Amino acid sequence: MGFPEVIMPHDVRNDLYVNLVRGEFHSGKTSNKNVEVCVSVHDDSGKKKSGVICSGSGVSCKDEYKSTVFRHNDKPKWNEYFKISLPMSIDDFSTSHIKFTFRHR
């Protein structure tokens, strides 16, 4: 997941690892949904934090994470991991919010 060999005492590590496991989405329609999950991080005022979500080691951080979309599946099982890395103080980390948006694609 991108850990360095040695973590020095002065290094700040405000990382949160999230596992997007599965969901159940039911509607009154006969066809199942194509569900996508978009994840973003916001501060107390609602402003989106940029460049804080990484989907793997060596990949540049992005503003949001978008899941895989499974066609006509109202019970998708993603089992996808991503890392939220906030390079700020622990106080900024504790006042941040994760926003999950579910969309029909």
- pLDDT at 79 exceeding the cut of 90: yes
Alpha-carbon separation of residue 18 from 61, 71, 78, 80, 100 (angstroms): 15, 23, 12, 8, 12
- Can you give the residue ranges of every domain in the chain? 15-104
Domain 15-104 sits in CATH at 2.60.40.150
Q: What is the mean pLDDT of residues 5-14?
A: 74
pTM score of the predicted model: 0.80
